[in-house]
Structure 1
Amino acid sequence: MSHSPFDPVSASSITARRPVSLAGQVTLFGLSRFVFNISLRMVYPFLAFFARGLGVDLYAISSVITYRSLGGILTPFITPIADRYGRKTGMLLGVGLFVLGSLAILIWPVYPVFVLTLCLHSLGVFIFAPSIQAYISDHVPYFQRGRVLALVEISWAASFFAGIPLVGLLFETYGWFAVFPILAVLSIIVFVVVLSVVPADAPDGARGQAASLLDGARQIVASKAAVAALLMGLLYNIANDVFGVVFGVWLEDSFGLKIAALGAASAVIGIAELGGESLTAGWVDRIGKQRAIFIGLTANCLVSLALPFLGRSLPGALVGLFLFYISYEITVVSSMPIVTEIVPGARATMLGLNVAALSAGRGVGAFLSARLFTSFGIWANLLAALLFDVLAIAALSQIRMDAHGQQTGEKPV
């Protein structure tokens, strides 16, 4: 008999007075991520607007992105809390940091506090997301997990389509500060709802053994598949950002249509993200996670080869951009269920290390991107993306898991 991944959580695992179905909890997680993702995504399109509002130059405001990314490095030191004290504790800690950041900017709306706010928002999301992924993984079988995780990830694309236009309207009407009181109120609501709705969960014996980052890291390092998964995430994120950081400059230089081209490119990326997440939700559990990742990486390689030729016209460049980002999104979302199952005894720790690997990949990609582009042109960026994708495929070949999440070729950790 088949079971839906949204069957209610078993009564034995619920300590709350009013049990809520897993479907309801997943809906809560998706809506919460939608709110939090708005903070992560609004900086890029409104960078100059924030600079004017805060009275700083573009260099100072762009440095916020660098400071914010440091949260990814700190994540592995905090996410073991969700292994030791339960997933709900990790969720509440993440939301609490987001609330704290939102309240700080309300009290003192100046540039240093703005930096602090965005850093706390980022760190909060980096803790909240692995905690909910670990929670879902505790309750949804591996062979159905890809669809559920992908449905939650749709909030990333939705925050672009629905959230950013609303933020723009708020900014235009009330100024740069207008979004933060709303984020504060919404994040407090999320905290209260998570506290009330998500059942408390005590770590089982296996998770209790991974009581610290060091204990969890030992389990992870002992698994060749886990190390390969982290390396794969690092590599495909380098591939994405080594091109993604400079695509706007490339479009501007190539076509001289800064506003039109970049506006269209932003819409194309949003459509690609939604398409990639929706496709992954529909097929990843049926065709297999590793196969879906291989398809995504191979498609990204082919697009990297084709983009110099497609980029001879603006429509061709936008088509190439769409294909590049949809293949990347398929790769990222398809890898999530694998990361959740490789070391189930240190699941949240593994997810935290994965966040750090992805953040490091973005940092390396950003570092290489401008240097390659200014020295050699966009073909060098795309060649580098191809190289890192091929290396990611090599790392993928070291991950062997069956349809139920059991590792083949090495003992499960």
Structure 2
Amino acid sequence: MNVQVLVATAARLLLNTALRMPYPYLPAFSRGLGVPVPRLIELLSVRSALAMGAPLLAQLPDRYGRRRMMYLALAVFSGAMALVVVWPGLIALAAGSVLGLAAKTLFDTSLQSYIGDRVPYERRGRVLAFIELSWSGAFFLGLPVVGWLLVNAATPAAAWRAPFGPLAVLGLVATAVLWAVMPHEPPQAHASERVAGPGWRTVLRNPRVLGGLAVGTLISGANENLSVVFGTWLEGSFALALTAIGLATAVIGVAELLGEGGVMVLSDRLGKRLAGTWGLAASIGAYALLPVLGRTLPGALSALFLVYLSFEFTLVTLIPLMTETMPLARAKVMSAFMASHAVGRMLGALVGVRLLAAGILSTGLVSAAMNVAALGILLVWVREEGDPH
């Protein structure tokens, strides 16, 4: 299992790098494509909206097996990245982004269900937190490399598409390695790979699940509200070049890495629900401090560090908590949870583009308010199945 988790984490690093790379480099994509930044932000919101179809993919891991769907997801990802290389342009970027997100959604749902089937709940927080290192790794490792590729492209006009070829090749490599290390026969003990479990009507009537989906929507919306503007904010307010923005993303990556490490250490000891409560409280404070600290570059980077540290801790804590809200429908619950994040990202992008002109003060306060609402919902509704409190 250790080798499988390590390889799956590396594969997920590629998926997350592709998903996250537009955010800090929106100005570079805008210049290369000849498209205004607000239009690209709207494209990101459309991509997130289409991710609401994640529950439609939930039946695939249950019907065909977690492993096969992970292989399929990586193959689709490579094809999506290759599409942009072969047919560069806004339409190909939009299609590749949607396919790439579909691949990530299928991969994440399959992997989280695979881990949920095999790892006891009392240890699941540490394992899933380790896998989530691939999310921070995208900012800490992947996006600085993307920045280097953008800067060293043959021409400035071609810079925006430079990362897609390497991502396509690495996706195929990841598929082959994952196939080599995964067991080639499903364990007979895990009947959940063959039984669909409760239907969607039952899942969506469960108050624990609905509460978790609402929390996921709110915290992702708050984070996306900032994510779609921080690259433009840093470039416009502090005149940062592409390479400097790449280094700034590394600061965020370190923050997320520490947040995921905190989950590995604390979530199983404190309990996932209590840890999530503390994470949301910290997020409220971090977003509120954003306009105060964001007056200077060191302050802005410190504020971003605090925001992404607390957000990542909260999100990664909620993942194992959600796997146990309705264990017999784990794949459906996790795909719905991912869809809730897509809803949040869509709404956050739409709000963020409208708050862009108003400045970072509005961004910080709106995101803080969304986390206040999420904290109230978590305290009232979200808990593990069988927990009477």
With structure 1 as the length reference, what TM-score do the two structures score?
Answer: 0.82
Indicate the RMSD between aligned Cα atoms, in angstroms.
2.9
**Residue identity opposite 1:395 in structure 2:** I
Task: Work out whether residues 51 and 102 of structure 2, in 8 Å CA contact, stay in contact via their aligned partners in 1.
Answer: yes
Q: 1:93 and 1:25, CA in 2 relative to 1: closer, same or farther beyond 3 A?
A: same
The answer to whether structure 1 residue 91 and structure 2 residue 74 are counterparts is no
Alignment partner of 1:259: what SS?
Answer: coil
The equivalent position to 2:179 in structure 1, one of 181, 184, 195, is: 195
The equivalent position to 1:328 in structure 2, one of 293, 311, 320, is: 311
CA displacement 1:337-358 (0-9 Å, x = unmatched)? 0111212222111111111101
The equivalent position to 1:397 in structure 2, one of 360, 364, 379, is: 379
Task: Name which of structure 1's ranges 132-141 and 181-190 shifts more when overlaid on structure 2.
Answer: 181-190
The answer to whether structure 1 residue 258 and structure 2 residue 223 are counterparts is no
Task: Work out whether residues 233 and 357 of structure 1, in 8 Å CA contact, stay in contact via their aligned partners in 2.
Answer: yes
Distance in structure 1 (CA, Å) of the matches to 2:31 and 2:297: 31
Q: What stretches of structure 2 of length at least 5 have no aligned partner?
A: none
The equivalent position to 2:270 in structure 1, one of 279, 287, 290, is: 287
Alignment partner of 2:380: what SS?
Answer: coil
**Residue identity opposite 1:240 in structure 2:** N
**Residue identity opposite 1:297 in structure 2:** L
Distance in structure 2 (CA, Å) of the matches to 1:57 and 1:64: 11
Task: Tell me what 2:300 maps to.
Answer: 317
CA displacement 1:283-323 (0-9 Å, x = unmatched)? 21111111111111011122233344334544333322221
Distance in structure 2 (CA, Å) of the matches to 1:318 and 1:124: 32
Higher RCO by CA contacts (8 Å cutoff, separation 6 or greater): 2
Deviation, 1:333, is 0.7
Q: What stretches of structure 1 of length at least 5 have no aligned partner?
A: 1-21
Task: Name which of structure 1's ranges 287-296 and 97-106 shifts more when overlaid on structure 2.
Answer: 97-106
Task: Work out whether residues 140 and 251 of structure 2, in 8 Å CA contact, stay in contact via their aligned partners in 1.
Answer: no
Deviation, 1:225, is 1.0
Q: 1:69 and 1:304, CA in 2 relative to 1: closer, same or farther beyond 3 A?
A: closer
Alignment partner of 1:398: what SS?
Answer: helix
Deviation, 1:387, is 2.2
Q: 1:305 and 1:169, CA in 2 relative to 1: closer, same or farther beyond 3 A?
A: closer
**Residue identity opposite 1:381 in structure 2:** T
Deviation, 1:173, is 4.1
The answer to whether structure 1 residue 184 and structure 2 residue 163 are counterparts is no
Q: Note the 1:2-401 alignment, pairs <5 A.
A: 22-54=1-33, 58=37, 61-171=40-150, 172-174=152-154, 175-176=158-159, 177-199=161-183, 200-201=185-186, 208-210=194-196, 216-248=199-231, 256-259=237-240, 265-372=248-355, 374=357, 378-399=360-381, 401=383
Q: 1:357 and 1:53, CA in 2 relative to 1: closer, same or farther beyond 3 A?
A: same
Task: Work out whether residues 116 and 124 of structure 2, in 8 Å CA contact, stay in contact via their aligned partners in 1.
Answer: yes
Deviation, 1:278, is 1.6
Distance in structure 2 (CA, Å) of the matches to 1:398 and 1:293: 13
Task: Work out whether residues 80 and 216 of structure 1, in 8 Å CA contact, stay in contact via their aligned partners in 2.
Answer: no
Task: Tell me what 1:5 maps to.
Answer: none
Deviation, 1:265, is 4.4
Distance in structure 1 (CA, Å) of the matches to 2:31 and 2:294: 34
Task: Name which of structure 1's ranges 325-334 and 377-386 shifts more when overlaid on structure 2.
Answer: 377-386
Percent pairwise identity: 36
Task: Work out whether residues 224 and 398 of structure 1, in 8 Å CA contact, stay in contact via their aligned partners in 2.
Answer: no
Task: Work out whether residues 65 and 193 of structure 2, in 8 Å CA contact, stay in contact via their aligned partners in 1.
Answer: no
Q: 1:240 and 1:38, CA in 2 relative to 1: closer, same or farther beyond 3 A?
A: closer
Task: Name which of structure 1's ranges 223-232 and 199-208 shifts more when overlaid on structure 2.
Answer: 199-208
Count of residues paired in the alignment: 380
Distance in structure 2 (CA, Å) of the matches to 1:318 and 1:398: 34
Distance in structure 1 (CA, Å) of the matches to 2:322 and 2:361: 32
Task: Work out whether residues 75 and 353 of structure 1, in 8 Å CA contact, stay in contact via their aligned partners in 2.
Answer: yes
Distance in structure 1 (CA, Å) of the matches to 2:354 and 2:164: 35
Distance in structure 1 (CA, Å) of the matches to 2:303 and 2:38: 30
Q: 1:225 and 1:59, CA in 2 relative to 1: closer, same or farther beyond 3 A?
A: closer
Alignment partner of 2:88: what SS?
Answer: coil
Distance in structure 2 (CA, Å) of the matches to 1:247 and 1:55: 20
Distance in structure 1 (CA, Å) of the matches to 2:343 and 2:105: 14
With structure 2 as the length reference, what TM-score do the two structures score?
Answer: 0.86
Distance in structure 2 (CA, Å) of the matches to 1:308 and 1:51: 26
Task: Work out whether residues 143 and 246 of structure 2, in 8 Å CA contact, stay in contact via their aligned partners in 1.
Answer: no
State which structure, 1 or 2, has the greater radius of gyration over its C-alpha atoms. 1
Task: Work out whether residues 126 and 264 of structure 2, in 8 Å CA contact, stay in contact via their aligned partners in 1.
Answer: yes
